[in-house]
């Protein structure tokens, strides 16, 4: 039963936007029913899957649809992952950053408040969400659900058959600054804000 979420189609998004030219650079926008005059807050969701191409955003559509029913617009992001051309560090994070910037540009046209964006991610998406919040000062809040946020420890444990090595395309001794940059920004985000 718990595996059903990975195969059960979520309710369709209101709109799919490409934020880049790669087939994996898109986001699904879901909008709440318009019952208020104020602009809607936004939850940007980044799916997990140890940064690998075999996992996509589809299953996260259920959560995003539920949040939209509760009054939050959602932006469910797809991105280049390990196994896709350009996937891995830094291409994956560039996609996350570009999708965020694209969201802030389209927000006013859909009655969304770009000053009230919370970024949420699960697993590898949690790590990417924390990195984004560290780089983008306009992120209002961040939620990391079971985030792979200690990349050194994940590397040492060889989590998911050395997913960190695949993501960073090497080992700590070969890429010392590459591995510490996503770790430093994942662990440095300390911000409290009201949504």
Token reading at 124: 């590898």
Average pLDDT of span 65-90: 96
pLDDT the model gives residue 172: 45
**Is a pLDDT exceeding 80 seen at residue 175?**
no
**Is a pLDDT exceeding 60 seen at residue 65?**
yes
pLDDT the model gives residue 155: 86
Confidence label for 88 from pLDDT (cuts 50, 70 and 90): very high
Please report where in the chains the tokens 């050194």 appear, as a residue: 152
**Is a pLDDT exceeding 60 seen at residue 42?**
yes
Return mean pLDDT, the chain: 86
**Is a pLDDT exceeding 50 seen at residue 2?**
yes
φ and ψ at 74, to 5 degrees?
-130, 145
pLDDT the model gives residue 34: 76
Check if the beta carbon of residue 108 is closer than 8 Å to that of residue 131.
no
DSSP letters for the chain? -TTHHHHSPPPPPSEEEESSSSTT-EEEEE------SSPEEEEEEE--STTBTT--SGGGHHHHHHHHHTT-EEEEE----BTSTT-STTHHHHHHHHHHHHHHHHGGGGTEEEEEEEEEEETHHHHHHHHHHHH-TT--EEEEES----HHHHHHTTHHHHHHHHHHTS-TTT-HHHHHHHHHHHHH-------
Check if the beta carbon of residue 154 is closer than 8 Å to that of residue 101.
no
Worst-scoring range by mean pLDDT, 82-96, 97-111, 123-137, 166-180?
A: 166-180
pLDDT the model gives residue 27: 98
Q: How far is it, in rounded angstroms, from Cα 161 to Cα 183?
A: 19
Check if the beta carbon of residue 38 is closer than 8 Å to that of residue 98.
no
Token reading at 5: 């979420």
Percent of the chain with pLDDT over 90: 69
pLDDT digits (tens, 9 = 90+) for 91-125: 999 999 999 999 999 999 999 999 999 999 999 99
pTM for the whole structure: 0.86
Confidence label for 71 from pLDDT (cuts 50, 70 and 90): very high
pLDDT the model gives residue 112: 95
Token reading at 77: 């992001």
Q: In 3D, which of 189, 37, 35 has the Cα closest to residue 113?
A: 37
């Amino acid at each position: 039963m718990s595996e059903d979420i990975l195969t059960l189609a979520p309710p369709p998004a209101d709109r799919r936007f490409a934020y880049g030219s790669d087939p994996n650079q898109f986001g699904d926008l879901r909008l709440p029913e318009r019952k208020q005059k104020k602009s809607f807050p936004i939850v940007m969701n980044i799916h997990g899957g140890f940064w690998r191409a075999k996992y996509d955003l589809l299953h996260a559509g259920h959560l995003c649809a539920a949040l939209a029913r509760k009054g939050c617009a959602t932006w469910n992001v797809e991105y280049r992952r390990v196994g896709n051309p350009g996937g891995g560090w830094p291409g994956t994070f560039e996609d996350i950053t570009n999708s965020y910037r694209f969201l802030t540009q389209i927000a006013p046209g859909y009655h969304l408040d770009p000053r009230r964006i919370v970024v949420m991610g699960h697993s590898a998406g949690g790590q990417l969400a924390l990195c984004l919040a560290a780089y983008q000062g306009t992120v209002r809040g961040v939620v990391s659900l079971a985030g792979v946020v200690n990349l050194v420890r994940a590397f040492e444990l060889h989590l998911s058959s050395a997913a960190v090595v695949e993501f960073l395309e090497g080992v700590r001794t070969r890429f010392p600054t590459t591995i510490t940059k996503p770790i430093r920004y994942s662990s440095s985000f300390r911000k409290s804000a009201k949504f």
